[in-house]
Amino acid sequence: MFAPGDAGYDDARRVWNANIDRRPAVIASCRTAEEVRAAIAFATMTGMEIAVRGGAHNPTGSASVDDGLVIDLSGMNQVTVDPEAKRAKVGGGALLADLDAATQAHGLAVPAGMISHTGVGGLTLGGGMGWLTRLGGLSIDNLVSAQVVTADGRILRAAEDEHPELFWALRGGGGNFGVVTEFEFRLYDVGPLVQYGLLFFGLEQGPEMFRLAREVIPTLSREFNVVLGGLNAPPPPFVPEEFHFRPGYVMVVTGLGSPEAHAEVLDRVRSALPPLFEFATPMPYVALQQLLDESQRWGQHVYEKSSFFDDLTDEVIEVITEHVPAKTSPTSVNLFYRLDEAFSEVDDDATAFGGGRTPRYACFVIGVCQDPESLPAEQAWVRSFWEALTPHAISTGGYVNALGDMDQDRVRASYGKKYDRLAQVKAEYDPGNVFHLNANIKPA
């Protein structure tokens, strides 16, 4: 338990986005579902707002609250793996690094995000997409059950055979329905080594790179995944010094199969469009999961928006290549994830995920700065970029884990026709809207 003035309070209230500086009245460090229940009861009895902290990675800072109570789950980071059943039970405060280390000890993995210091809980409740999405779908598609503490203090198991409407809502509906203290996931055979290839192209090559990606990616089997981006080249040793920090575009190709099959894909790309430089190597899956950790490290000032697109049309490519060179911070990025194969084999109504299930691209426009003075310019860049993309997007909503601004119009647009059903579930399990510091679903 931490309160203002206690040793450790300032560390305990910090969140990933340095632009968020909130001062909770109480931070309750919980290690069991019963302690979470006690914290909820204390907050509701005293009329305090509740924020729930897992990895504290959401750009909006929803893991903290001024003058309220933070339920800190970081002590609940245990991961138990059953390699025979290919199942993992994961504490509500575990990070992806905890999950990956435990599952990879058995050559297994859960489809999840791409930054290892992300919290499993927040990522999963919104959907969860990353390198394994084409292989196994979203994190929520592999959720078998969840232990949930509700606003009235009940400790429930949600699964297909127990509280099925709550289980449906948890898979994409965010933290609206209670505090999840344990997740049970289905696992896949992955690694320990995967194939990695990075090809970097100059700004002038951007239109051709995206058109090439549009042609190549849909033809790849699910053992491959490709992430596209507009960014400045990083400065590690494998990047020629002349290209350090140079703005351009990147195509990252990962393969879960043979080195030969991966090399064939890279050769197909480079023969069509030679990159300025490239880097290809086998690497441990846990290392792949950590590649973005430094660029997305704690202590930076961040603002983000997201959208979904049916395809990389010429109009979308024109917007991308017009706006990427306009960013002012060298650490700001624009990323595109491909969502198809296993992702699209799940019925749209099977979960509360608001992004739809037809093959598509998820787009993230992320302004990242090292100081608060630089952030307004990057926020303007993100908004301008996103507004220019919106006429070509599937909807005016986005991925609920990356909305940037969680106003009601965007939340409703993100969930579309599912919003009313979510509101009914909310009315049953949280009629007083106790859990509202999120992409909030208002009770019906």
Tell me: the pLDDT tens digits for 178-225? 999 999 999 999 999 999 999 999 999 999 999 999 999 999 999 999
Residue 379 CA to residue 376 CA, distance in Å, equals 5
Bridge partners, 309 (sequence order)? 361
pLDDT at 331: 96
Residue 59 CA to residue 9 CA, distance in Å, equals 21
Q: Which CA distances in Å does 127 have to 138, 362, 390, 432?
A: 6, 12, 21, 25
Q: Which CA distances in Å does 126 have to 131, 138, 307, 386?
A: 17, 10, 14, 20
| CATH for 247 | 3.40.462.20
Bridge partners, 280 (sequence order)? 197
pLDDT digits (tens, 9 = 90+) for 335-377: 999 999 999 999 999 999 998 999 999 999 999 999 999 999 9
In a domain, 426, yes or no: no
Q: What is the residue range of 380's domain?
A: 193-402
Instruction: Quote the Cα angle for 204-209-211, to 5°.
Output: 120
pLDDT of 306 strictly over 80: yes
pLDDT at 236: 86
Tell me: do 222 and 359 sit in the same domain.
yes
pLDDT of 10 strictly over 80: yes
Structural domains counted in the chain: 3
Q: Is the dihedral of CA 106, 107, 109, 113 positive or negative?
A: positive
Asked if residue 329 lies in contact with residue 378, where contact means CB atoms within 8 angstroms, the answer is: yes
Tell me: do 331 and 290 sit in the same domain.
yes
- Please state the rounded mean pLDDT for residues 384-400: 92
Asked if residue 49 lies in contact with residue 59, where contact means CB atoms within 8 angstroms, the answer is: no
For the chain, what is the total number of helices (H) and then of strands (E)?
13, 17
In a domain, 99, yes or no: yes
Residue 135 CA to residue 223 CA, distance in Å, equals 6
Q: Is the dihedral of CA 165, 166, 171, 175 positive or negative?
A: positive
Q: Which CA distances in Å does 243 have to 82, 237, 239, 325?
A: 45, 11, 7, 16
In a domain, 108, yes or no: yes
- The DSSP H or E segment spanning 361 is strand 360-369
- Please state the rounded mean pLDDT for residues 16-42: 97
pLDDT of 115 strictly over 80: yes
- Please state the rounded mean pLDDT for residues 154-173: 98
Asked if residue 141 lies in contact with residue 346, where contact means CB atoms within 8 angstroms, the answer is: yes
Domain boundary among 38, 72, 106: 72
Tell me: do 352 and 229 sit in the same domain.
yes
In a domain, 425, yes or no: no
When the pLDDT of each residue in the chain is averaged and rounded to a whole number, the result is 96
- The DSSP symbol for 424 reads H
Locus of tokens 């965010």: 174
Rg of the Cα atoms in the chain: 21
pLDDT of 404 strictly over 80: no
Asked if residue 227 lies in contact with residue 252, where contact means CB atoms within 8 angstroms, the answer is: yes
Domain boundary among 32, 53, 72: 72
What percent of the chain clears pLDDT 90, i.e. is strictly above it? 94
DSSP character string of 37-99: HHHHHHHHHHT--EEEESS---TT-TT--TTSEEEE-TT---EEEETTTTEEEEETT-BHHHH
Tell me: do 224 and 126 sit in the same domain.
no
- The DSSP H or E segment spanning 9 is helix 9-13
Tell me: do 240 and 348 sit in the same domain.
yes
pTM of the model: 0.96
Tell me: do 117 and 30 sit in the same domain.
no
Locus of tokens 């929803």: 62
| CATH for 62 | 3.30.43.10
Tell me: do 249 and 211 sit in the same domain.
yes
In a domain, 416, yes or no: no
Locus of tokens 């910090």: 14
In a domain, 320, yes or no: yes
pLDDT at 405: 78
pLDDT of 406 strictly over 80: no
pLDDT at 407: 80
Instruction: Find, among 324, 316, 365, 310, the residue nearest to 210 by Cα.
Output: 316
Tell me: do 186 and 197 sit in the same domain.
no
pLDDT of 86 strictly over 90: yes
Query: Do you know the residue count of the chain?
Result: 444
Residue 254 CA to residue 285 CA, distance in Å, equals 10
Sorting pLDDT into bands at 50, 70 and 90, what band is 398? confident
DSSP character string of 238-270: TS-GGGTT-EEEEEEEEESS-HHHHHHHHHHHH
Sorting pLDDT into bands at 50, 70 and 90, what band is 388? very high
- Please state the rounded mean pLDDT for residues 138-157: 98
pLDDT of 231 strictly over 80: yes
Residue 145 CA to residue 184 CA, distance in Å, equals 5
Pair type for strands 87-91 and 69-72: unpaired
Residue 347 CA to residue 300 CA, distance in Å, equals 38
Q: Which CA distances in Å does 128 have to 231, 345, 437?
A: 23, 16, 19
Tell me: do 61 and 90 sit in the same domain.
no
Tell me: do 54 and 17 sit in the same domain.
yes
Tell me: do 107 and 199 sit in the same domain.
no
Cis before 192 (ω within 30): yes
- Please state the rounded mean pLDDT for residues 159-171: 98
| CATH for 158 | 3.30.465.10
In a domain, 378, yes or no: yes
Distance from the first to the final alpha carbon of the chain: 34
Helix or strand or coil: residue 143? strand
pLDDT at 444: 95
In a domain, 437, yes or no: no
Tell me: do 340 and 198 sit in the same domain.
yes
